[in-house]
């Protein structure tokens, strides 16, 4: 039997970051993943890119991951939100305030590569992958996880970081509130003629948002000429778009961009993700906590999904490190309750704002469009509102855990 402080089921972006944050504070984890993790960094496995809000970036710095990823990141200096191609826009410009970028764009592959390399070096971390769990037992005095190769892991706490379908959450009987949007996200990468200048564009169309997210150019491409596309289309229309030859799809994309970045070429195959919303009714069970997509999933409109998961990591790491120093059982219901209270309200807030935003922009017709434009213009002109949205984009609302302030616990 192998003992550790926590057993983390799911070594995705959230689960692995948690394991490393704990390692930095001397807490040990056993990470179990059903996937062959080195395969998850092969080109083509996950073509998505993620926005890392500046608070999340501070945590990655504090736990020593930043150096490896920084050269591959693109700073987001400004976010422009517009109703379609309307010239009236809301923009959040970090250069106004001189407080550093709002966030950074990374390919998920870059993040995964850095996490796996750090995990291989970490003293208090063991990775079991690919491995399936054949039994997960949680009881009064501890938890035990049996793997299909016969390994038995023991710890006072099990963390479910096993993604949005979380088998662990299901088995624990924790219910989720959820719905599907009638939309699908088409995700791809483009090269364009003119520089994005560090601006993230969110264009709202009745079928959903169209996001152009600035990426660091690769190879000998001119700086600023690569962007990630997250394009929400009606689910019924998705197969038709995905069936288009690359040039034709590039033309569709260029049409929605209104040509402001010049000529567009597709540089990655387009993939699609059904869009949904889910929120677990509870983040905790007996010797169990949920983090990341296992606990919540939102519309990718605001690029906050992973950031919410990283905020879970920062809070849970702080709760566990504090608890360990007090000598508490890490499965103590009080510790778990502290984590749940800290995170659930904040996540619920982000989730409902995102959902409302998405619904608001999905209402067709001219009056609705006029109201939206007025709304955007209002936020633009009212500094406190604007500051709130800026802080949200940076991931700086709520009671900030130490790691998100760039400090260790």
Partner 1 sequence: MKASEAPAPAMTDASIDPREVALFGGIAAEWWDPKGSSRLLHAINPARLAYIRGQALDHFGRDERARAPFGGLRALDVGCGGGLLCEPLARMGFAVTGLDAAPENVAVATRHAADMGLAIDYRAGSAEALAEAMPGGFHLITCLEVVEHVADLGAFLGALERLLAPGGLLVFSTPNRTPQSYAVLIVGAERVLKTIPEGAHDWNKFLTPDELTAALRTAGLSVRHVTGLGYALSRGFAIGGDTSINYIGAATRA
Among 79-87, 328-336, 380-388, 398-406, which window interacts with partner 1 (CB under 8 A)? 328-336
Among 41-49, 320-328, 358-366, 384-392, which window interacts with partner 1 (CB under 8 A)? 320-328
User: Of the candidates 84, 100, 142, 276, which one interacts with partner 1 according to CB under 8 A?
Assistant: 142
Q: Which does 12 bind (CB under 5 to 8 A by kind): partner 1, ligand FAD, none?
A: ligand FAD
Q: Which does 1 bind (CB under 5 to 8 A by kind): partner 1, ligand FAD, none?
A: none
Shortest approach of partner 1 to residue 24 CB, angstroms?
Answer: 11
In the block, which residue shows the tokens 């195959």?
Answer: 269
Lookup: tokens for 355: 């959902």
- Answer yes or no whether residue 209 interacts with ligand FAD by CB under 6 A: no
Q: Which does 303 bind (CB under 5 to 8 A by kind): ligand FAD, partner 1, none?
A: ligand FAD
Shortest approach of ligand FAD to residue 37 CB, angstroms?
Answer: 7
- Answer yes or no whether residue 395 interacts with ligand FAD by CB under 6 A: no
Among 52, 94, 79, smallest CA distance to 376 is for 79
Among 146, 71, 82, smallest CA distance to 104 is for 71
- Answer yes or no whether residue 65 interacts with ligand FAD by CB under 6 A: no
Lookup: tokens for 394: 């940076």
- Answer yes or no whether residue 95 interacts with partner 1 by CB under 8 A: no
* Cα–Cα distance measured from residue 266 to residue 189, given in angstroms and rounded to the nearest whole number: 6
* Cα–Cα distance measured from residue 279 to residue 281, given in angstroms and rounded to the nearest whole number: 6
Q: Which does 60 bind (CB under 5 to 8 A by kind): ligand FAD, partner 1, none?
A: none
- Answer yes or no whether residue 407 interacts with partner 1 by CB under 8 A: no
* Cα–Cα distance measured from residue 13 to residue 156, given in angstroms and rounded to the nearest whole number: 23
Which lies closer to partner 1 via its Cβ, residue 200 or residue 289? 289
Shortest approach of ligand FAD to residue 300 CB, angstroms?
Answer: 4
- Answer yes or no whether residue 325 interacts with partner 1 by CB under 8 A: yes
Which lies closer to ligand FAD via its Cβ, residue 334 or residue 352? 352
Shortest approach of partner 1 to residue 407 CB, angstroms?
Answer: 12
Cis previous bond, 38, omega within 30: no
* DSSP 8-state code for residue 282: -
Contact assessment for residue 217 and residue 73, using Cβ atoms and an 8 Å cutoff? no
Helix or strand holding residue 232 (H, E): strand 226-234
* DSSP 8-state code for residue 155: E
Shortest approach of ligand FAD to residue 311 CB, angstroms?
Answer: 10
* Cα–Cα distance measured from residue 406 to residue 409, given in angstroms and rounded to the nearest whole number: 10
In the block, which residue shows the tokens 């802080």?
Answer: 391
Among 268, 226, 272, 213, smallest CA distance to 51 is for 213
User: Of the candidates 62, 102, 253, 324, which one interacts with partner 1 according to CB under 8 A?
Assistant: 324
* DSSP 8-state code for residue 143: E
Which lies closer to ligand FAD via its Cβ, residue 54 or residue 307? 307
Q: Which does 141 bind (CB under 5 to 8 A by kind): partner 1, ligand FAD, none?
A: partner 1
Q: Which does 26 bind (CB under 5 to 8 A by kind): partner 1, ligand FAD, none?
A: partner 1
Instruction: Report the site for ligand FAD in 219-258 (rule: CB under 6 A).
Output: 230
- Answer yes or no whether residue 215 interacts with partner 1 by CB under 8 A: no
What own/partner pairs with CB < 8 Å and gap ≥ 24 does 395-398 have?
Answer: 395/53, 395/54, 395/55, 395/56, 395/103, 395/304, 395/307, 395/310, 395/311, 396/53, 396/54, 396/55, 397/346, 397/349, 398/311, 398/346
* Cα–Cα distance measured from residue 10 to residue 203, given in angstroms and rounded to the nearest whole number: 34
- Answer yes or no whether residue 398 interacts with ligand FAD by CB under 6 A: no
- Answer yes or no whether residue 334 interacts with partner 1 by CB under 8 A: yes
User: Of the candidates 333, 348, 364, 383, which one interacts with partner 1 according to CB under 8 A?
Assistant: 333
User: What is the β-pairing status of strands 29-32 and 125-128?
Assistant: parallel
Residues in contact with partner 1 by CB under 8 A are 3, 26-27, 140-142, 323-329, 332-334
């Amino acid at each position: 039997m192998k003992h550790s402080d926590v057993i983390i089921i799911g070594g995705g972006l959230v689960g692995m970051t948690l394991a490393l944050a704990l390692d930095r504070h001397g807490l040990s984890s056993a990470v179990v993943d059903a996937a062959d993790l080195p395969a998850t960094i092969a080109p083509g496995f996950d073509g998505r890119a993620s926005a890392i809000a500046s608070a999340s970036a501070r945590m990655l710095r504090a736990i020593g991951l930043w150096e490896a990823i920084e050269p591959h990141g693109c700073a987001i200096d400004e976010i422009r939100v517009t109703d379609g191609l309307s010239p009236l826009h809301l923009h959040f410009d970090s250069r106004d305030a001189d407080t550093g970028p709002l966030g950074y764009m990374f390919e998920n592959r870059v993040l995964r590569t850095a996490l796996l390399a750090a995990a291989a070096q970490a003293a208090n971390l063991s990775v079991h992958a690919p491995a399936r769990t054949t039994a997960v037992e949680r009881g009064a005095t501890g938890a035990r996880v049996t793997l299909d190769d016969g390994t038995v892991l023991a710890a006072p706490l099990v963390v479910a970081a096993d993604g949005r379908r979380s088998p662990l959450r299901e088995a624990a009987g924790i219910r989720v509130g959820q719905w599907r949007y009638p939309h699908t996200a088409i995700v791809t990468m483009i090269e364009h003629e003119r520089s994005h200048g560090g601006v993230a564009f969110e264009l709202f169309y009745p079928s959903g948002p169209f996001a152009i997210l600035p990426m660091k150019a690769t190879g000998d491409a001119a700086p600023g000429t690569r962007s990630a596309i997250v394009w929400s289309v009606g689910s019924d229309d998705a197969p038709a778009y995905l069936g288009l030859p690359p040039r034709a799809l590039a033309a569709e994309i260029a049409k929605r961009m209104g040509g402001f970045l010049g000529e567009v070429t597709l540089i990655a195959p387009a993939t699609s993700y059904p869009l949904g919303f889910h929120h677990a009714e509870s983040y905790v069970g007996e010797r169990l906590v949920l983090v990341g997509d296992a606990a919540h999933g939102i519309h990718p409109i605001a690029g906050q999904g992973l950031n919410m998961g990283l905020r879970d990591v920062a809070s849970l790491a702080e709760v566990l490190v504090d608890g360990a120093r007090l000598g508490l059982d890490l499965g103590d219901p009080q510790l778990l309750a502290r984590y749940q209270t800290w995170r659930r309200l904040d996540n619920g807030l982000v989730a409902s704002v995102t959902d409302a935003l998405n619904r608001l922009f999905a209402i067709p017709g001219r009056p609705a469009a006029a109201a939206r434009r007025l709304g955007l213009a209002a936020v633009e002109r009212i500094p406190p509102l604007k500051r709130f949205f800026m802080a949200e984009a940076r991931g700086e609302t709520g009671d900030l855990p130490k790691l998100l302030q760039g400090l260790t616990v």
